[in-house]
Amino acid sequence: MTSGASFSAGQLVTGALLKLDVFWPGMAAAFLMNIHPASSPSWAPCSFFPTDGQRHRLDIKGTVLISTAMVMVLYPLIQGRGAGWPLVFFVVLMAAIPVSWAFVKYEWS
């Protein structure tokens, strides 16, 4: 979910930077989105690494579920118009709902 939100936010922020010409003319402002959050000043709060001393395991099942749900939503939306919106695209979009719900239930448990 974080990846999807950051992808969408990145597109909006980059478009706004280009449209408003905030810092200087041209495409250079679009590259401001590539500044890594870990390069923030030391006083900025950072929660990228656990501070409780415990090692955390990779969430493979959650990653597979959210990746599958994202592909099931994005592929039909991107390719549907060019393919003439075949019925299978609508079926895949509908099937993305229970996969997304399975992801939410898994992460809540």
What SS3 string covers 54-90?
A: CCCCCCHHHHHHHHHHHHHHHHHHHHHHHHCCCHHHH
Q: Tokens in use for 9?
A: 């936010």
Residue 38 in contact with residue 48, Cβ under 8 Å? yes
Burial (CB count within 10 angstroms: exposed 0-12, middle 13-18, buried 19+), residue 62: middle
Residue 107 in contact with residue 62, Cβ under 8 Å? yes
Per-residue pLDDT tens, the chain, 109 aa: give them: 677 777 777 777 767 766 776 665 566 555 655 565 555 455 445 555 555 666 667 788 988 999 999 999 999 999 999 999 999 999 999 999 999 999 999 988 8
The residues, ordered by sequence, that sit 6+ positions from 37 with a Cβ below 8 Å of its Cβ are 46, 48
Distances (CA, A) of 73 to 4, 18, 28, 69, 93: 11, 28, 32, 6, 5
pTM reported for the whole predicted model: 0.52
Q: Tokens 């890594």 correspond to what residue?
A: 36
